[in-house]
Structure 1
Amino acid sequence: MGGSPRVVISTGQALPDMDWTGELAGLTDSWPYLGPTWLRATEKVLPDVQPWHTLAHRARGELALLPGYILTTPPVVDHEPRTYLGWQAPSGEEVCCGAETDAARSAEVDALGTEPFFPTLLLGSPLGYRTEVAYNFWTPTLMGSIVDKLVPAAFEAGIRCIIAPWIPSRRGNDALVDALDAAGASSTFWGYEDFMSLDAPNWEGHLAALPLKKRQRIKGDVRRAEAAGVTIERVDGTDIRPYVDRIAELTCLNREKNGAGEEPAHIVGILSALIDEGADVRAYLGYKDGALVATCVTIRKNHRLFPKWAGFDYAAIGERSGIYFALVLDAPVRDAYAEGLRTVEFGAGAHQAKALRGCTPREVTTSMLLSDPALRPQASAWLDAFGNSRSVAFGAASPAPAQPANLPLLGGSGDSGCCG
């Protein structure tokens, strides 16, 4: 008999039973933040969220996973649906890489209270800042079928709001946005994540191929780091364990500086789980006068490298030491070239500064769907205004501005990044 294998979709599921080795083989091209190893650790460090994953199976070993988490009460701002409508949290915290908010709009959203929004179903990896399906098979209708099954099941389960905060513009993801829009959602611009394709034969060839100004910036970053008296070394795998707490401390200092909220225990839990699972984790450590003052943790998965956590003791190194770029951009790219990797995925944060050093932007979209149809037009208008304000903050007309601008962008200073 002919025909394609049947796709079976289930909602409200637990994570599939897959270890890191299984992810390397079975979810080869998916981000590490979307795999069971990372997500199991997320569920341990965020005990107040309820896993509600959507799984699609086809034939033996064919899997698609769209992570989802139910939030019953207002969470931190990055996971709070109202912040994507322009609402300002009373604590003053800003959504990651956020733009300035409008007080009048915030008050309008606040007047609705929490009932129209909670329980919320957050789609994606809440500590990975990524809304995407991890899959190892593809059909033209896969994304649409997943959303068609997910939305009515979520509303039947009592969900009031479905938020997909961080959908990157990658192959297939336009179908995810389109499917959510077809179900009644509204979508808007969130920002950019940055990556670097390793197209040159080696690091020296990479530098030589860059425009003169970008090449000079990179060399200047290294000189400034050296002048600041910072030396960089790398440790891998289980050798990272003694530094886990300090890595978490410095990372959270950096994120607090940029208005984003994350607790050291989150980073300790996930990083420790990755090490326990045997993931290819590397830590770049910056020392000054014998003290650990800067860190950057990267994850290698197959042919790509993912810088994830970066943190700095600004009291020790200053605001413009150049160590951010030497540690987060230069050192990982050098090593990725030496290992023959194809791409370095830097994620979001410090977009303009990354673009000025040779990175390529990828647009990220936020989608939101309320269960109450009567509220959707107003929510759509607020979401659109939120997206417009972020677009202006990011440079509006160009995803990779030729020159840095003095814009009301939070968390975008040249020596920092918040959710990278």
Structure 2
Amino acid sequence: MGGSPRTVVTTGQPLPDLDWSGEMTTLTDSWPYLGPTYLGATEKAMPEARAWHTIATRARGELALLPGYVLDSAPAVDHEPRTYLGWRAPSGEEVCCGADADAGRSAEVDALGTDPFFPSLLLGSPLGYRSEIAYNFWTPTLMASMVNALVPAALEAGVKSIVAPWIPDRRGNEALVTALEDAGASSGFWGYEDHIPLDADSWEGHLAALPVKKKRRITADLRKAEASGLDVRRIDGEQIRPHASRIAELICLNREKNGAGEEPGHILGLITALLDEGADLRAYCGFDNDVLVAVGVTIRKGHRLFTKWAGFDYDAIGDRSGIYFVLVLDAPVRDAYAEGLRVVECGAGAHRAKTLRGAQSRAMTTALLVSDASLRPTIGRWLGDFSAGRRTAFGDEPERSVPVLNLIQPGSSDGGCCSTG
């Protein structure tokens, strides 16, 4: 009997039972933030986020996972659906790569209250800033079949809104956006993530191939970092564990400096879980008299290196040390070339500064669906306005006449407003 194997989609599921080595073989090309190791640590760090994953299986070993978490309230503004409509939290906390919101629009959104939005189903990795499906098989209808299953099931379970905040513009992901729109969601531009294809034959060849201005920026960073007097070195794997608490503290200091929020326990839990599973974790560290004052943390998976976290004690190193880019871009790219990797995934944050040093960009999309169909036109208009304002804030041409938002710049020339990934 011929024919293609049947795809089976189930919703509201726990994580698949895969350890890190299983992820390496089963979900080889997927982002580490979308796998059971990272997500399992997320669930321990965020017990308020109830796992509600959508899983597709086909033949033996064929798997697709769209992570999902039900939230009765948002633990941070990045997980708050109203944020993507122009709402500002009373605390003043900013989203990653935030933009000044229009006060009038924020008040309009606030006037709706929370009932139209919560409980909310956040699609993706809430601490990985990625809304995407991890999969090892493909059919033209895979993403649509998963969305078509999850939306009615989530609404029937009492979910009031479904938000996929960070869908990257990668091959195939347009099907995810389209499927959510077909189900009733609105979508709009969120920002950019950056990556560096390793097309040269070496780090030296990479530098030589860059335009003169970009090469000069990197050279200046290296010189300033050398002049800082810090002891810069890389530590790997279990060498990281004794420094894990300090690394988490530095990462949270960096986000706090730029108006964003993160809990040290979240970062520590993720780092510990990755180390426990034997993930290829590296920390690029700057020490001042044996005190860790600067760090960039990366994860290698397959042929890619992912720069995930950055943290700095600016009271110790100052705002213009140049150490940020040495730890989060230059040293990882140099080592990736030495190991024969194909790309360094730089993530979001400090977008303009990364592109000025040779990074390429992908747009990221936010999709938001509310259960109340009567509100969908208003939600679509607000999300569209916020999206267009963010495009202007990022330096893109406005798509239509909207209030111009000012991109909230990092607190120093050395860093981004969020973790780098």
For normalisation by structure 2, the TM-score amounts to 0.96
Q: Look up the SS of the partner of 1:88 in the other structure.
A: coil
- Matched residue type, 1:275: L
Give the distance between the partners of 1:257 and 1:392, measured in 2 at CA. 24
Give the distance between the partners of 1:140 and 1:284, measured in 2 at CA. 41
- Matched residue type, 2:33: Y
Greater mean alpha carbon deviation, residues 49-58 or residues 381-390: 381-390
1:192-271 matched pairs, under 5 angstroms? 192-271=192-271
Q: Which residue of 1 aligns with 2:94?
A: 94
Which 4+ runs in 1 deviate beyond 4 A?
Answer: none
Greater mean alpha carbon deviation, residues 138-147 or residues 228-237: 228-237
Q: Which residue of 1 aligns with 2:182?
A: 182
The answer to whether the aligner puts 1:15 opposite 2:15 as a matched pair is yes
Give the distance between the partners of 1:320 and 1:390, measured in 2 at CA. 27
Q: Which residue of 2 aligns with 1:409?
A: 408
1:296 positional shift: 0.9
Give the distance between the partners of 2:288 and 2:239, measured in 1 at CA. 20
1:328-347 matched pairs, under 5 angstroms? 328-347=328-347
Q: Which residue of 2 aligns with 1:125?
A: 125
**CA-to-aligned-CA distance 1:106-146 (integer Å, 9 cap, x gap):** 00000111000000000000000000000000000001111
Kept in 2, the 8 Å contact 1:96–1:411? The answer is no
Give the distance between the partners of 1:59 and 1:414, measured in 2 at CA. 51
1:92-171 matched pairs, under 5 angstroms? 92-171=92-171
**CA-to-aligned-CA distance 1:61-83 (integer Å, 9 cap, x gap):** 00000000000123310100111
Kept in 2, the 8 Å contact 1:120–1:160? The answer is yes
Kept in 2, the 8 Å contact 1:166–1:366? The answer is yes
The answer to whether the aligner puts 1:72 opposite 2:69 as a matched pair is no
Give the distance between the partners of 1:385 and 1:413, measured in 2 at CA. 28
- Matched residue type, 1:285: C
- Matched residue type, 1:365: T
Give the distance between the partners of 2:240 and 2:98, measured in 1 at CA. 32
Kept in 1, the 8 Å contact 2:320–2:412? The answer is no
For normalisation by structure 1, the TM-score amounts to 0.97
The count of corresponding residues between Structure 1 and Structure 2 is 413
Q: Which residue of 1 aligns with 2:401?
A: none
Greater mean alpha carbon deviation, residues 387-396 or residues 262-271: 387-396
1:94 positional shift: 1.3
Q: Which residue of 2 aligns with 1:350?
A: 350
Q: Which residue of 2 aligns with 1:57?
A: 57
Unmatched tracts of structure 2, length 5 or more? 399-404
Q: Look up the SS of the partner of 1:247 in the other structure.
A: helix
Unmatched tracts of structure 1, length 5 or more? 399-405
Kept in 1, the 8 Å contact 2:12–2:51? The answer is yes
Q: Which residue of 2 aligns with 1:81?
A: 81
- Matched residue type, 1:304: R
- Matched residue type, 1:270: L
Kept in 2, the 8 Å contact 1:351–1:412? The answer is no
Q: Look up the SS of the partner of 2:82 in the other structure.
A: helix
